[in-house]
Each structure stands twice: as C-alpha cells, then as structure tokens.
Chains A and B, each alone.
Chain A
Amino acid sequence: MRSAEPRTVQERARQALSDEFLRNAVKFTTERLRAGKQTASQEHGNWEEWRERARQIRLHTIAHLDYYLQEFVENARANGVQVHFADTAEEAAALTMDIAKQCGARSVVKSKSMVSEELHINQALQAGGVEAVETDLGEYIIQLANEPPSHIIIPAIHKNRYQIAELLSKEAGEELPPDTTALAGFVRRKLREKFLEADIGMTGCNFAIAESGSIVLFENEGNARMVTTVPRTQITLMGMERIIPTWDDLEVMATLLPRSATGQKLTVYMSGISGPRRAEDRDGPEQMHLIIVDNGRSLQLGDPHFQELLNCIRCGACLNACPVYRHIGGHAYGSTYSGPIGAVLKPALNKNVAEWDDIANASSLCGACYEACPVKIPLHDMLVYLRQRKVEQGVQSGEEKAGMKGFRYVMSSHKRYGRALRWGRVMQKLLLRDGVIKARIGPLKGWNQHRHTSPLPNKSFREGWQALERDIQRERTEMDEQIRERLHRHLNEREKGGVGDE
C-alpha cells in the first residue's frame, strides 16, 4: 500500500479533512445512500419487525454455529466443492496459492470481497507471480491507483472522474475522456478479455445456506456472475460466520441487505451457487474451492459483549449514518473495514490491545450506527467496552491517565471540588478574551481549534442550589393554589353540564 502513511486516526482524519473533493464526495455519497435506505425501508413497511426477525435469525445461527457450519460444509462437499479451513490470513493466502499452483494459474479475476481485502490475497497472489484483477468497477479503479477501498459498498468514493480518466488512460494507452459512459465502456471491453483469459475466478460470500451447501452473492454489475461462470476454477473465500440455515431465511436477508446498502429492492443480480458445474453443464467452474476463514472471528464467540458482532451482514448502513465517517471517509480508519463497524471489528479481530491503534476513539457514541443497523448490532456499546478494555489492560496515554486521576481526586470530595472551582474562576481571568477562552493550550487545544470555550460562571449550580431550592418550594405552593382553584371551577362547570374545555 502507500508508503509514509500517517500513523494515527487523527493524523489521517486531518489529511482527509483538508481534501475538499473527498469531503464533498463522501458527504454526497453517504447522503444518497442514506436517503435511499430511508425511502426503501419506509416503502417496505414494518421495518422494525423485519430488523428484529433478521436479528433473531442471525443470533440463532451464531448460537448454533458449529451445527450449521458443519451442515453447510457436509452439503457443500456432497455438491462437489473442495472445502478448506484457514485459522489465519496467512493460512488462507497459502491455501489460495496452493490451489493456484495446482491448476497452473497465471491469472485470477476477482469480484468484490471484503474478506479478500482483509486477508490481503491480492498481494499474496502477486508475490507468487499470479496476476490478480479486481473486476468490480470501483475496485478495479482503486486497484490501478494502488489504494484500499474507502467504503464497503462504493470503494472508489474518494476518486473523481478526472482522476479515474487519468488512471484508465494509462491502462488503455490512449487518452480517454472524463465521461462516465466512455470510461465504463473501456473497463467493460478490457475486463471481458481478462474474464475469458483467467484461470481462476475468486469471490467472497454474502451468505452461505446450510441446508443445501450453497453460497449466495449480491451484486449489480454482473462481474460476480462472470467470475463464477467463465473461469475453469472458482475459489470462494468465506468468513466462518456467513451462514444462514435455510433458503427461507434468505428472503429476510435479501430484503434487508440491498435496502440497507443502496436502497434497492434487490441488487440486479442475486446468485445462488451450489457446487461446480454439473456433468452436462457447458459453463460454470469445473472445480470449486471454498476457503472458510476464522482470522479472529472465533474470539467473538462466547464473549457477552462482542458475540453479536458476528451478526453483521456487511451492508455499510452504519458508515452512511455515522457523523464521524461522513466527515473523514474510510481511509482515515486505516483498516480494511471502516466506519463504526470497522472501529469495532479491527480491534475485535485483533486480540493484542497494544496494536489497536486509536480507532475505537473515532466515534461520538451517538448510536446512529445502531439505529441504522439492519440486524441491530449495538456498535456504540461495543465501542465503550473496547475503551474500557483498553484502560483495564493499562494501554492508555499518560495524559489520559493523569487526567482521570485528577478528576477522581477533585470529584470525590465536595470541599476539593469547591476549591477547584474557585481557583479556576481566578485563573481563567488570565485567559478570558471577549468573554470566552480562545487559548489553544493543554486540554483545550483540540476544542479551541474550531470553537471557543465558555468561562466558568460566577456561581456554580451547587453554590446556587440553596437559594434555588427555596424558590422552587415557594413557587410550588403558589402554583398549587392556582391549580386547585382552576380545577374546582372546572368541576363545578361540568356538574352544571357545561363544556369543560377552555
């Protein structure tokens, strides 16, 4: 990937915020997708009932995952699929390379798959001398730019058509106009050749149906169908939690996933693939491999705070709803998965707290992600648990530690608290300008960069409470008299048969 990457979320966010096109593009795209979702969920009706249904199906599947995964694997094997298991990203990459070597592959065409991004499969293939071509239009563009996706659903959200025309012109060896139709037309022709030449087609997996051993793919362009139709060998990478029990359950997922992702009633293509081509078939893969990946997922199982994370159906609705994502875009998160789900997934998939980065802090804990989630994952609660875990394991900045210690010292005694307030009122006089504090020092640095801090009032709430309480008491008695009088009047009128309303 790109070198000299900024190391913290804050640094990357600052970089993103200074890129005006990126800010506008992210804002426009997320607004469009969010509005689409809103219309689609309202139009469908009973959205809450469907969300709850989907949550129940996911909870049930994960709670019985050993049974359903076993059922799925046995059925897939019976369909003629060669099933492999990978505990780690490295194992998955090694298995992929083994298969590629076995069939003497020189090139792989891929449809969009977040799990392959997570496992860095492209790098592994390229290191092994196998060409890996992304075929989703957005993924193809960012592959040419050598950048990671910035959105789960629209990976090239951060590129404008002039930048895209430049990238594709280089590939075409001629000047292409910055016109969407012309650019997409070039990609269609170019990738048609790639599809027909490729030895292996590689896909992810949206859902895996246990009762028949089928995988299900959702897409709009048709590239996933190409990848599963044209090459002789197919490799499907699948997170171990992608299972649903039956085809019947697919109706619920197929109703929620596209509506939550893009506001579509259904993606243009939804394909159920149940093994390699049958003996008499003339297209579809002759060999089909399935690599089932753990890579940190089983760590979530049995964890009361995080097990629900495995319910995620990767729709991206939480990204579009998140006020932080909408400002900084996906790259600032510095991991494969961005947005609220990424802020939880990255730390959750990696047990080593010290390697977590500051990603769990990139959230305002407002809960918009939970509201948007079609399977009701309480992401904002999980972010709090992550921060708690970090503190419990002692991974915390010195500043934060000292700040919390100080807070505890001051707040645990009312005398100390009163003294601190009085002291603060005196000291702030040095900083007050036009009635506010503008100085960018100490803990006020970040805040005051964009706004001003209000000064401490002359009298704190606590100091004014005694007088306030007296007022309230007095007001209540007076009010009571009035109300009593009015009620009596009402009652009398009603008894006389008059209309009670004023």
Chain B
Amino acid sequence: MNEESRIKQDRFMQRIADRLGRPRLTEKPPHPHKGAPPDWRRFSLDREERIALFSENWQKAGGHVVRVPDLEAAKTYIAQKAKELGAYAIIRQNQPELNALDWQQALPEAEIVVWHSEQQKDLLRYAAGADIGITMAEYGIAYTGSLVCTSSGNQGRSVSLLPAVVMAILPAERIATRMGEVLAHFDGRPRAQFPAGIHFISGPSRSADIENDLTIGVHGPGVVFALIVG
C-alpha cells in the first residue's frame, strides 16, 4: 500500500502543478500574510485583565470559575466539591503539580486512579465511568476563554473528556491574551516533543441540534471547573 501511495502522491502533486500552469514547486514560497494582522499581535492585557476576561468568557460558555491562592487550596476545593457531588471514581493526570498534593488524605473514601503508561487498569474504561477528571491546563487564552491540554503517557486525552465532571487547574501566569501566543509554542516545535493531541477546551460539551435548544454535556463533560491559581 505504501509504495502505491507514493506513486499516487507524485501524480497528485504533478496534476496540481499542471493545473496551475507551472512546474512543481520545491522551494518554500515566501508567505507575507502569515498569521493574524500585525495590529492584533500588539494587543496585550495585563494579568488581572487576562484573568477577568478568561473568567467572563468561560462562565458565558457555561463553565464555572473559582480563584484560589495556591495549589493546596485548589485541592481542598476539589475535595469539597467531590464530597458534595458524592463522587467515588476519580481519575487524574500524572503531573508533578498534582503529584505534590496529598489526594488520598483529602478524599479518603474515593478511588483515585492516576493516568500513566504503566497503570494496570483499563484506563479508557475507567475514565469513561469516572465521576471526576482532574488535570492541569498547560495554557489559558483570555480572549476566547479556552484551556489548552496536551496528550502524553502521563496525560490522557480521556481525563478531560470522558468523566461527567472535569476540574482543570490553571495557574494564572499561564493565561495568555491571544490564541496566537499559545500557538507560537507549537509553531516549529521539533517532532520528538510534539504531542499527538493538542486540545483547546472552551466550556462544557454542548449542542443545539434539537430545535435550537441548547443542551449541555452531550458527549463530553457537562460540568467543567476552571480553578485559577494565583
């Protein structure tokens, strides 16, 4: 199949060049209009404005925002919410910030499974039945009200997707004003460090497919918390 595909590829590209009426291009063409308009790149909010705009957008989309002074307080808040919701099955990412917190002591009655490469459990199925997923967000975007999570052996895509409730911890200094600032982290990143999945999340899963009536939590989580730290 591979060799066949290579031959086909050549024909495909040649046809494009033929239709465009020139030989095939092998040099990278200059791209003068790359990215957002120049004025937009100068748009920058200060720290408190970024937090306020992110919070406003996240809440407008139907998410919850909680501001806490430190990670310990984030943990306490999550534990309290979990008790309120009667949550038992919890799944969390294997991230250093989360590992530094004593989850067992905060939630003695719950089962907390950590997502990592060596985990014995069927992680997908466990996440699909979990009440709460806990993750650190890598970046935030104020202008669109988005969190950014990436995948790795220690960071399952499922953790922010399959549980009924997702709690995402977002350190305030990771909130950018514009999407472009976050995309710059991926522009030109070497392949070995490139995550297979990059997910921008802007609120709870939603649909308006039945009579334009907004429904929350169609396939993904219906309840999403952003815990802003700092």
Residues of A participating in the B interface, judged by any CB pair closer than 8 Å: 25, 28-29, 32, 46, 49-50, 53, 56-57, 60, 63-67, 69-71, 73, 78-79, 82-85, 98, 135-138, 141, 154-156, 160-161, 164, 180-181, 183-184, 187-188, 191-192, 196, 211-212, 214, 220-223, 225-226, 228-230, 240, 245-252, 254-255, 264-278, 280-284, 292, 294, 298-299, 301-302
In the complex, are the beta carbons of A284 and B208 less than 8 A apart? no
Given the interface pairs A196-B124, A281-B196, the reply to whether A29 lies near B212 with Cβ below 8 Å is yes
B86 touches A (CB below 8 Å): no
- What is the chain B residue whose CB lies nearest that of A55? B33
| A60-B33, A66-B13 known; A247-B186 Cβ under 8 A | yes
Pair A64/B61 contact, Cβ less than 8 Å: no
Q: Which residue from A60, A180, A212, A276 sits with its C-beta under 8 Å from B215?
A: A180
B133 adjacent to chain A (CB < 8 Å): no
A248 & B200 in contact (Cβ 8 Å cutoff): no
Give bound CA distance, A15 to B188, whole Å: 53
Neighbour of A266 across the interface among B12, B33, B188, B200, CB < 8 A = B200
B23 CB to nearest chain A CB (Å): 9
Interface assignment of B213: CB less than 8 Å from any CB of chain A: yes
Q: How many residues of B contact A (CB 8 A)?
A: 87
Flag if A274 contacts B12 (CB, 8 Å): no
Q: Are B219 and A135 in contact (CB under 8 A)?
A: yes
C-alpha gap A50/B178 in the complex (Å): 15
A302: chain B residues at CB < 8 Å are: 19-21
A241 vs chain B, min Cβ distance (A):
10
Given known A-B contacts A57-B33, A251-B36, A136 and B209 have beta carbons under 8 A apart: yes
Mostly, the B contact residues are loop
Question: Which of A25, A64, A160, A247 neighbours the largest number of chain B CB atoms within 10 Å of its CB?
Answer: A247
Please, which residues of chain A bring their CB within 8 A of the CB of B145? 265-266
A64 contact from B11, B29, B186, B200, Cβ within 8 A: B29
Check A269 against B199 for contact (C-beta < 8 Å): yes
Complex CA distance for A246 and B198, rounded to whole angstroms: 15
Q: Is the CB of A301 within 8 A of B16?
A: yes
Which residue of the partner chain, among B9, B201, B202, contacts A83 with CB atoms under 8 Å? B9
A-B contact pairs, 5 of them (CB 8 A): A78-B191, A245-B31, A246-B34, A249-B35, A283-B123
Contact A301 B19 (CB under 8 A): yes
> By the criterion CB–CB under 8 Å, are A254 and B28 in contact?
no
